[in-house]
Amino acid sequence: MDWVWRSLPMIWGLVVDHVAVSVPPIILGFILSIPLGYWASRSRVARAILLGLGSVLYTIPALVLIVVLPVALGTAILDPQNLLRALTVYAIAIMVRSSTDAFSSVSDDVRESARAIGYSGVQRFFAVELPLAGPVLLAGVRVVSVSTVSLATVGAVIGISTLGQLFTNGFQLDFQIEIVTGIVAVLIVAAVFDVIITTVGRLLMPWNRRPARTRASRRPAGVTA
């Protein structure tokens, strides 16, 4: 425990680095998967291709992807952006499925009625389809967030500062406390991300929570009546 207290500044530094590495792929994955998911929800062919591709990409081991990606993209092996690119690929691979489900979950009735009362195509996408896809998108981002935070640890293997360094160091020195500290720190980061994402979701989509709450609060009244 003593070691943890003494190393706190170092650990905190790694947490900050880890967060800096994890956030961009989550956001990029989210944004890029939206047009892809929308397309896949509208077209059977696009759906088959995109979802198939997503599953395949996700099965490639992280280290392999980090090594292969620079070759495929023609960038330097030690380019620090490689980790960002690899994590973004994973994020999209997961998120495309959620995003497809999200847009498929918007009811045709609502879509048609929005058209009937005079939304143009673009207005309908941003004011109706995107917000209504929100709850399922949110669920997807939560999965992507956890997955990205844990995958980001492999950065340590290719010399990028993340909480993964506590694992690599710990293994090299056979120092278990450092390894456990790394695991706990990753879990805490993932949990904090999750709280932030769900809170933002709740603030952006108050309508999503309301019916459930009123129904729950009505039930006891109904029972006593």
> Under the rule (CB under 8 A), what is the footprint of other proteins?
109-110, 112-120, 123, 128, 131-132, 134, 205, 207-208, 210-211, 214
Which is closer to other proteins, CB of 60 or CB of 128? 128
Which is closer to other proteins, CB of 106 or CB of 163? 106
Q: Positive or negative, the Cα torsion across 145, 143, 182, 77? A: negative
Cα distance between the two ends of the chain: 57
Which is closer to other proteins, CB of 179 or CB of 205? 205
Which is closer to other proteins, CB of 55 or CB of 113? 113
Smallest distance, Å, CB 211 to other proteins? 4
Angle of helix 176-204 relative to helix 130-151, nearest 10 degrees?
170
Smallest distance, Å, CB 209 to other proteins? 10
Smallest distance, Å, CB 105 to other proteins? 11
CB neighbourhood size of 166 (10 A): 27
Distance CA 121, CA 33 (A): 19
Which is closer to other proteins, CB of 75 or CB of 123? 123
Q: Positive or negative, the Cα torsion across 12, 66, 28, 205? A: negative
Smallest distance, Å, CB 37 to other proteins? 18
Q: What are phi and psi of 194, to 5 degrees?
A: -65, -40
Angle of helix 44-59 relative to helix 2-42, nearest 10 degrees?
160
Smallest distance, Å, CB 110 to other proteins? 6
